[in-house]
């Protein structure tokens, strides 16, 4: 616990070591000493609690402190001896947004907010200095918050992208393993057929039947489970009558290849004594073809995801360019696809196909779409049962592009709707949100000379983003 300090060097001397106060006359430093409370904190002790009242300015005489948000695993604010922190005159801060803790043993002079007016009257030159300090703090805080929000968004995207990439990568790996196994089977069947007493015409006919079977299998349309089961059973019975071993292992591929009683009879006459091996090789070739297709599809999905993330991040492009809003929304949906799927959310699109491109920083706008869509999915995921719908709508409004992101979540209570864009304000549970997402969203939209508003009631929340088609710098060109 903090305690009043006694038996230390004169406070006036310690105050002069603070750069902002170093050139003040002795009598003005004495005023600060007379109207401050000198405190000491041991290393590790909490100086300010998250949400505590912002009612004092702190002059750090000795030691170092750090601040972190409730759900942050690293320090996001640091101050040491010679610096001034806490609430400054003219600041509208009501509560401290983060916990402040002593890193080392500390000695602090605390000036209560009720002394601010008297302080500025007694030491008028402090006003400009403290205003500059507050401006520097706001600038640094804004940069830190934006960076933290970007890191949080990157973490979400990385997790989503890892899930999205894992599925096709795993499928490709399984298929590759299957191909290796089937190649061994093909080699065994080839050797058996090569030893069979078949003439050149029979071998040519066998190749022709296999080619036709592969083409049929590739173009085979999906059948319902009942029809497929009936046909497989029919083929298995025919193979059993023909004394073929393991008929049920061969039936699925032969069915897809279009075999029936007549074509089986034709193959049996062509392959003669190698009939069982010909059937086996045909089934394995069809399996190999499917495994190769699975690898190709998986690689296409991975390639598509890489392309999406590259377009999403606007790699190798200028910061400001013509941006296709629809393309960016779709890339964001694809990157967040796993999360959307796990939450059981249905996506509805109502895009204005005639919407022009927007001149903007594409990667920054993608932060907007990511935060809004991610928040909407989180809101719907918190609701048990019911229809979960994410609706994306775009429209042209004179010289502006309108983007609406609508969800069927629980809604934002009326009493806190005015606060949702405030820094560090969040409706999520402890550790689930920084309270910076919507603040960053609004800053980005305003930086693009746009507007963002929200309408919400239980079961229906809609964020509307209005963006000029041309940036201020390109208007009139």
Q: What is the pLDDT of residues 249-299, one digit of tens each?
A: 787 787 877 777 788 888 888 888 888 888 888 888 888 888 888 888 888
Q: What is the CATH number of domain 344-468?
A: 3.30.565.10
**pLDDT bracket for residue 150 (50, 70, 90):** low
Closest by CA to 38, choosing from 60, 67, 64, 66, is 60
Instruction: Pick 317 or 209 by higher pLDDT.
Output: 209
Give the pLDDT of residue 362: 84
Contact criterion met (CB below 8 Å) for 467 and 450: yes
Give the pLDDT of residue 25: 92
Q: What is the mean pLDDT of residues 188-201?
A: 88
Give the pLDDT of residue 252: 79
Q: Is the pLDDT of residue 141 over 50?
A: yes
What is the distance, to the nearest Å, from the Cα of residue 200 to the centroid of all Cα atoms in its chain? 61
Q: Is the pLDDT of residue 143 over 50?
A: yes
Tokens encoding 42: 């041991």
Tokens encoding 383: 């609701």
Give the pLDDT of residue 238: 81
Q: How many CB atoms lie within 10 A of CB 80?
A: 15
- Rounded to 5 degrees, φ, ψ at 90 are 75, -5
CATH superfamily of 3-123: Jelly Rolls (2.60.120.10)
Instruction: Pick 251 or 12 by higher pLDDT.
Output: 12
Using DSSP's 3-state secondary structure scheme, residue 407 falls into strand
For 191, counting Cβ atoms within 10 Å of its Cβ (0-12 exposed, 13-18 middle, 19+ buried), the class is exposed
> Which contiguous run of DSSP H or E holds residue 260?
none
Give the pLDDT of residue 432: 44
For 52, counting Cβ atoms within 10 Å of its Cβ (0-12 exposed, 13-18 middle, 19+ buried), the class is middle
Q: What is the pLDDT of residues 105-115, one digit of tens each?
A: 999 999 999 99
Q: What is the pLDDT of residues 297-320, one digit of tens each?
A: 888 878 777 776 666 655 555 567
Using DSSP's 3-state secondary structure scheme, residue 8 falls into coil
Running DSSP on this structure, what letter comes out for residue 435? S
**pLDDT bracket for residue 477 (50, 70, 90):** very low
Give the pLDDT of residue 148: 61
Q: Is the pLDDT of residue 456 over 50?
A: yes
Q: What is the pLDDT of residues 61-77, one digit of tens each?
A: 999 999 876 555 555 67
Give the pLDDT of residue 71: 56
Q: Where are the domains of the chain?
A: 3-123, 158-304, 344-468
């Amino acid at each position: 616990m903090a305690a009043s300090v006694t038996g230390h060097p004169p406070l006036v001397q310690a105050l002069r070591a603070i750069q902002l106060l170093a050139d003040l006359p002795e009598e003005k430093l004495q005023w600060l000493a007379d109207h401050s409370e000198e405190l000491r904190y041991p290393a590790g002790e909490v100086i300010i609690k998250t949400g505590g009242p912002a009612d004092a300015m702190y002059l750090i005489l000795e030691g170092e402190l750090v601040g972190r948000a409730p759900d942050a695993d690293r320090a996001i604010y640091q101050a040491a001896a010679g610096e001034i922190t806490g609430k400054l005159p003219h600041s509208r801060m009501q509560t401290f947004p983060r916990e402040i803790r002593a890193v080392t043993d500390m000695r602090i002079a605390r000036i209560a907010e009720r002394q601010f007016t008297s302080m500025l009257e007694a030491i008028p030159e402090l006003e400009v200095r403290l205003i500059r300090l507050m401006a520097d703090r706001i600038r640094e805080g804004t940069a830190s918050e934006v960076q933290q929000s970007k890191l949080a968004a990157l973490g979400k995207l990385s997790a989503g992208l890892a899930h999205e990439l894992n599925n096709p990568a795993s499928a490709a790996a399984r298929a590759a393993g299957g191909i290796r196994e089937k190649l061994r089977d093909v080699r065994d069947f080839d050797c058996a057929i090569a030893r069979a007493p078949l003439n050149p015409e029979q071998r040519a006919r066998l190749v022709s039947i296999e080619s036709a079977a592969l083409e049929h299998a590739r173009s085979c349309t999906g059948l319902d489970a009942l029809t497929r089961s009936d046909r497989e059973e029919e083929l298995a019975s025919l193979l059993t009558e023909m004394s073929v071993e393991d008929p049920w292992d061969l039936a699925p591929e032969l069915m897809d290849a279009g075999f029936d009683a007549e074509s089986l009879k034709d193959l049996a006459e062509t392959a003669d004594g190698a009939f069982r091996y010909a059937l086996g090789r045909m089934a394995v070739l069809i399996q190999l073809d499917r495994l190769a297709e699975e690898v190709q599809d998986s690689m296409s999905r991975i390639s598509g995801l890489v392309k999406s993330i590259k377009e999403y991040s606007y790699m190798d492009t200028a910061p400001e360019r013509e941006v296709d809003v629809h393309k960016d929304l779709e890339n964001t949906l694809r990157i967040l696809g796993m999360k959307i799927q796990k939450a059981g959310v249905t996506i509805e699109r109502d895009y204005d196909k005639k919407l022009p491109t927007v001149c903007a920083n594409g990667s920054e706008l993608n932060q907007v779409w990511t935060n809004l869509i991610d928040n909407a999915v989180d809101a719907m995921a918190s609701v048990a049962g019911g229809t979960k719908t994410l609706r994306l709508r775009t429209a042209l409004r004179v010289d502006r592009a309108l983007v609406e992101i609508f969800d069927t979540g629980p809604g934002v209570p009326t009493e806190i709707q005015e606060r949702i864009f405030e820094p560090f304000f969040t409706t999520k549970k402890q550790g689930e949100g920084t309270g910076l997402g919507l603040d960053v969203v609004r800053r980005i939209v305003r930086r693009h000379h746009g507007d963002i508003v929200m309408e919400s009631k239980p079961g229906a929340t809609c964020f509307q983003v209005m963006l000029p088609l041309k940036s201020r710098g390109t208007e009139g060109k």
